[in-house]
Amino acid sequence: MLRRSSSIVRTLAPWLVPLMLFIALGAWSFASPVGASPDDDFHLPSIWCGLGDRPGLCEDSGDPETRLVPTPLKDASCYAFLPADSAACWDSEASGLFEAARVNTGPLYPPVFYATMSVFAGPDVPTSVLLMRLANSAIAVGLVASVFWALPRRLRPALLISTIGSAVPLGVFVYASTNPSSWALLSAATVWISVYAVTQTSGRRRWVLAGLAVVATVLGAGARADAGAFAIFGAVLGLLLGLGRARSALVPIVTAAAVAVVGVAFYLSAGQSGSLVAGLPSDNPPLTRAQLIDNALNVPTLWTGALGGWGLGWLDTPMPSTVVVATSLVVGGILFLGIARPTLREGIAAALALAALWAVPFILLAQSRAVVGTQVQPRYILPLLIILLGVASVAVDVEARWTRARRLIAAGALSIAFALAIYTNVRRYTTGTDGTALDPGTGAEWWWPVAPSPLLTVVVGSLAFATGLGVLALSGLSGRSARAEAVTSGTDADAPTVPATRT
C-alpha cells in the first residue's frame, strides 16, 4: 500500500508541485498593497511608461526627466517606514495624472522588465499591479520548471535545493512583486546550472539548455544591471564545473559567450551600472579602518537578512525570529550536506561563490562609504546566495544525502517559516504591526476590493507551499525515475558525459 501511495505521489508531482508553488506565490501577490516592494515609487511609474508614451497611462510632461502617470501611483507607498500604520492611507480611486519625477527616463535600469510589465498596465492601478504580480509568479514557476525538466536528472536536485532553500521569506516576496529584483533572482537560479548542464548533455537537450541560459540572462540583465554581472559569474562557474568532462567544448563556450555578450550589453546600457563600480550615492566620509573591519565581520547579516533577519517591503515589516532560525538551519543543512565530499572542481566553485557572496557587498559598502545595515540591502546579495547553494549541491550523490527524513524536516521548517512570514506581512498592512487579533482580517483597515479574505489568503498560500514541498519530500528531488528519463530523452541524460572523478 505504501509503495502504491509513493507511486501516486510521483505521478502527480510534475503537475502538482508547480501548481502549488504558483498558488503560494499568488498568495504573496495579494499579501501586500500597491507600492509595497522597495523603491516602488520609482518602479511603478517606470512600468507604466515601459512601452513609451500612451494616453492616460504615460504622457509627456514637457520635461524630458519626468512623465505624467495615473495619480494613484503618487502616494502608493504612503505607509512606508510606518510599520504600525496600515495601508489605509492610500487612495486607490484618485483620478487624473500627476508628474512623476522618479521614473526610468535615463535609463537608470535596463528596459526589458518595465516593458514586459507595462503590458498589464491600465487605468485601474490595483488590478494592473495584481496582474503584474501574478504574471511574475507564473514566469518564475514556468522558467524554473522548464529548466528542471531540461536538466539531466542528477542536476535537478541542485536547482530545487538552491531555489526553494533560499526563497523564504524575501525570495517569495520578491518573486511575486513588481520589483526588477524578481527577475534578478530568477536569472541567478537558472543561468549557472543551465550552462553547466550544457557541458553534460548532447543533442536536442543541450540546445534547449543553451537557449534557456540565454533567455534567463535576458530576463535578469534586462531587469537589473548587476544581474548581468551575476549571470556572467554563474556562466563561468558552470564552465568550471563541467568543461573538463564535456565531449565537446564548443557549444558550452558559445553559450557562455552569448551569456556574457547579453550581460555586458545590458550592463553598459544602464546608468545603474555606475553604482556597481563607484558605489551607491553617499555624502559620507571614507570609512575608517575600524568600520571596514566591522563591515567585513558583519557582511553575513546581509545573508541572514534575506532569510528573515531583515524586514520585508520597505524593510519595515520585521519577521518573527522563528522565521530566520528555521530558514538559516535549512541553508546550513544545504551547505553541510552539499560540500561534505567535494571534488576539486566542486570545492573551487563553492569557494569562489562564497568569496563573491562576501566580497561583493563588502566592496560595494566601501565604495558607498556605508556600514552594514545601510545602503546595501539583502535583495542585492540574494542572487549570490542562490548560486552558492546551487554549486554546493551538484555532487553526484546529493539526492542520496537528502534522505526522505531530511527532506521532510527541511520542508516542515520552510513551511512554518513561510506561514509565519505571510501572516506577519498581511497583518502589517491590514492593521499595522500593533494589531493583536489572530485573524489578520479582524478590524482590517485595508484590503483589496476583490480578493479572498486576509485569513483565507494566508491559509491557502501556506497550505499550497507546504503541499508542494511535501510532495517533493515524498517523491524525491529529481522528478521521474531514471528509466522514465532515459525513455523520454534518449542517450545519457541521467549521467555526466564522463563519470565524475575526484580530481
Cα–Cα distance for residue pair 373/76, rounded to 1 Å: 25
Cell triple for 175: 518573486
Cα–Cα distance for residue pair 270/223, rounded to 1 Å: 10
Q: Is the pLDDT of residue 445 over 80?
A: yes
In tens, the pLDDT along 5-42 reads 566 667 778 899 999 999 999 999 999 999 999 999 99
- Helix orientation angle between 225-242 and 378-391, rounded to the nearest 10 degrees: 10
Instruction: Categorize the per-residue pLDDT at 106 as very low, low, confident or very high, splitting at 50, 70 and 90.
Output: confident
Query: For 360-374, 392-406, 488-502, which range has the lowest pLDDT when averaged over its residues?
Result: 488-502
Closest by CA position to 225, among listed 52, 139, 108: 108
In tens, the pLDDT along 211-254 reads 999 999 999 999 999 999 999 999 999 999 998 765 678 999 99
Segments making up each domain of the chain, as ranges: 2-44+126-489
Cell triple for 242: 563541467
Cα–Cα distance for residue pair 407/157, rounded to 1 Å: 11
Give the pLDDT confidence score for residue 283 in this predicted structure: 77
Give the pLDDT confidence score for residue 275 in this predicted structure: 57
pTM of the model: 0.93
**213 or 437: whose pLDDT is higher?**
213
In tens, the pLDDT along 303-316 reads 999 999 999 999 99
Residue 354 has, within 13 A of its CA and on its CB side, a CA count of 9
Cα–Cα distance for residue pair 282/316, rounded to 1 Å: 22
Cα–Cα distance for residue pair 274/484, rounded to 1 Å: 49
Instruction: Categorize the per-residue pLDDT at 472 as very low, low, confident or very high, splitting at 50, 70 and 90.
Output: very high
For residue 59, list its beta bridge partners.
68
Q: Determine contact, residues 393/334, Cβ cutoff 8 Å.
A: yes
In tens, the pLDDT along 398-412 reads 999 999 999 999 999
Find the mean pLDDT for residues 191-205: 96
Find the mean pLDDT for residues 79-84: 96
Residue 60, classed as helix, strand or coil, is strand
Find the mean pLDDT for residues 442-465: 96
Give the pLDDT confidence score for residue 1 in this predicted structure: 53
